[in-house]
């Protein structure tokens, strides 16, 4: 069974050239205390590409850094795409290297969903198609920098999405449908919604706006959470057993506690 929590799909800062600390833009907000332009190294980035305030990021106002996860794109670009040449020693690679990061991150995100889909027994009939999509996506991650920059990532996502939708339908169909329970909440505006203890088993929450929603003690088993915005959502005591396509970044952005039940492959954030 594929391992959706494999190291190649998780950020490995030891083998990355601090790409997210340079390539990304951030502005003064609740997530960052300073402005930074894309291409400018963060003031906390050390010469060894490590963060000088890693252990105190949240206390220092860099909450956004603790939420971000590159799905392993950083080390892939650093060690594979650019063969271990860092942008300081080879400054001519910098612009291209930074531009490749968002492309590779999206491809790695797709890999994580496809690998997870292969672990889901109700979708077994789709596994041959999923494997082909997985192989194609993995090959794309191994192309050269220019090919990555020319890649139509939106088209690749569009090609994969129907498979993920069908997978979701097959998984969620296993959940008994209680009378009167609304399960289609795809793209729903649930900003600040009071959903404490809600029965959301098998719900389609794809792309739902759950920012600051009260989900304490909610039952989210077998719910599809792909792309759901969980920033500041309160997941204390919530049960996410068997929930599908839940990314680490979503969990990092939410609030939870020791009683929150997470699916395999998702790590409980240190700041919970």
* Number of domains comprising the chain: 2
**What pLDDT is recorded for position 7?**
78
Residue 76 lies in a domain: yes
The tens digit of pLDDT for each residue in 173-190 reads: 999 876 667 789 999 999
Same domain, 213 and 265: yes
Q: Indicate whether 162 and 203 sit together in one domain.
A: no
Q: Of 172, 196, 219, which one is at a domain's C-terminal end?
A: 172
**Same domain membership, residue 157 and residue 75:** yes
Say if residue 191 is in the same domain as residue 247: yes
> Where among 172, 193, 212 does a domain terminate?
172
The answer on 166 and 206 residing in a single domain is: no
Residue carrying the six token digits 């998702």: 266
58 located within any domain: no
Q: Are residues 138 and 270 in the same domain?
A: no
Report CA-CA distances (Å) from 177 to 181, 183, 220, 221. 7, 8, 14, 13
Q: Among 172, 201, 221, give the residue marking a domain's end.
A: 172
Domain-located, residue 34: no
Give CA–CA dist 78/125, Å, rounded.
37
Residue tagged 């396509």 (tokens): 245
* Residue 192 and residue 260 in one domain: yes
Considering the domain architecture, whether residues 149 and 14 belong to the same structural domain is answered as: yes
pLDDT of 5 reads 53
Residues 228 and 115 placed together within one structural domain of the fold: no
Q: Are the C-beta atoms of 164 and 133 separated by less than 8 Å?
A: no
- What pLDDT is recorded for position 1? 36
CATH number at residue 186: 2.160.20.80
Domain assignment present for 103: yes
| Average pLDDT taken over every residue of the chain | 95
Cα 35 to chain centroid distance, Å, stands at: 24
Q: Note the pLDDT of residue 166.
A: 98
Tokens 């190294």 found at: 41
Among 184, 192, 135, 125, CA closest to 159: 135
Q: Within this chain, do residues 227 and 99 fall inside the same structural domain, yes or no?
A: no
- Digit-by-digit pLDDT tens for the chain (272 residues) are 344 457 799 999 999 999 999 999 999 999 999 999 999 999 999 999 999 999 999 999 999 999 999 999 999 999 999 999 999 999 999 999 999 999 999 999 999 999 999 999 999 999 999 999 999 999 999 999 999 999 999 999 999 999 999 999 999 999 987 666 778 999 999 999 999 999 999 999 999 999 999 999 999 999 999 999 999 999 999 999 999 999 999 999 999 999 999 998 899 998 99
**pLDDT recorded at residue 183:** 83
**62 found inside a domain:** no
Q: Is residue 250 part of a domain?
A: yes
122 domain-assigned = yes
Clarify whether residues 18 and 98 are in a common domain. yes
Question: Residue 190 is part of which domain span?
Answer: 179-272
Any domain includes 2:
no
* Domain shared by 233 and 128, yes or no: no
State the Cα–Cα distance between residues 211 and 208, nearest whole angstrom: 9
Among 84, 99, 94, CA closest to 151: 99
| Residue count (the chain) | 272
Helix (H, G, I), strand (E, B) or coil at 83: coil
């Amino acid at each position: 069974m594929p391992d959706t929590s494999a190291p190649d799909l998780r950020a490995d800062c030891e083998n990355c050239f601090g790409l997210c600390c340079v390539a990304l833009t951030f502005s003064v907000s609740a997530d960052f205390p300073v402005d930074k332009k894309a291409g400018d190294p963060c003031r906390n980035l050390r010469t060894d590409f490590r963060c000088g305030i890693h252990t105190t990021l949240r206390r220092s106002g860099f909450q956004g850094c603790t939420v971000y996860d590159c799905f392993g794109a950083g080390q892939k670009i650093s060690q594979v795409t650019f063969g271990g040449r860092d942008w300081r020693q080879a400054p001519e690679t910098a612009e291209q290297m930074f531009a490749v990061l968002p492309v590779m991150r999206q491809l790695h995100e797709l890999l994580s969903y496809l690998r997870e889909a292969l672990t889901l027994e109700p979708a077994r009939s789709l596994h041959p198609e999923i494997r082909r999509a997985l192989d194609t996506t993995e090959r794309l991650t191994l192309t050269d920098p220019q090919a990555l920059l020319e890649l139509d990532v939106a088209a690749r996502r569009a090609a994969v999405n129907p498979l993920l939708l069908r997978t979701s339908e097959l998984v969620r169909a296993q959940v008994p449908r209680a009378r009167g329970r609304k399960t289609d909440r795809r793209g729903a505006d649930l900003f600040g919604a009071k959903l404490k203890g809600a029965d959301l088993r098998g719900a389609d929450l794809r792309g739902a706006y759950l920012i600051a929603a009260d989900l304490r003690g909610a039952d989210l088993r077998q719910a599809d959470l792909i792309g759901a915005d969980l920033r500041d959502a309160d997941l204390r005591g919530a049960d996410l057993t068997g929930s599908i396509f839940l990314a680490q970044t979503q969990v990092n952005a939410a609030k939870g506690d020791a009683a929150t039940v997470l699916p395999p492959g998702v790590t409980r954030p240190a700041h919970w």
